[in-house]
Amino acid sequence: MTNIDNCPNCKNSFEFSRNDIHIKLTITHEGKTYRVYHYKKVCPNCGELLLMKIGMPSDNNGKWLVSTK
Give residue-wise pLDDT tens across range 16-62.
888 888 888 888 889 988 888 888 999 999 999 999 877 655 555 67
The model's pTM is 0.72
The Cα–Cα gap between 67 and 69 comes to 6
Q: Which residue would you say has higher pLDDT here, 64 or 57? A: 64
Angle (CA) 51-53-59 rounded to 5° is: 110
| Measured distance CA(61)–CA(47) in Å, rounded | 23
More confident residue, 1 or 25: 25
Residue extents of the structural domains in the chain: 2-66
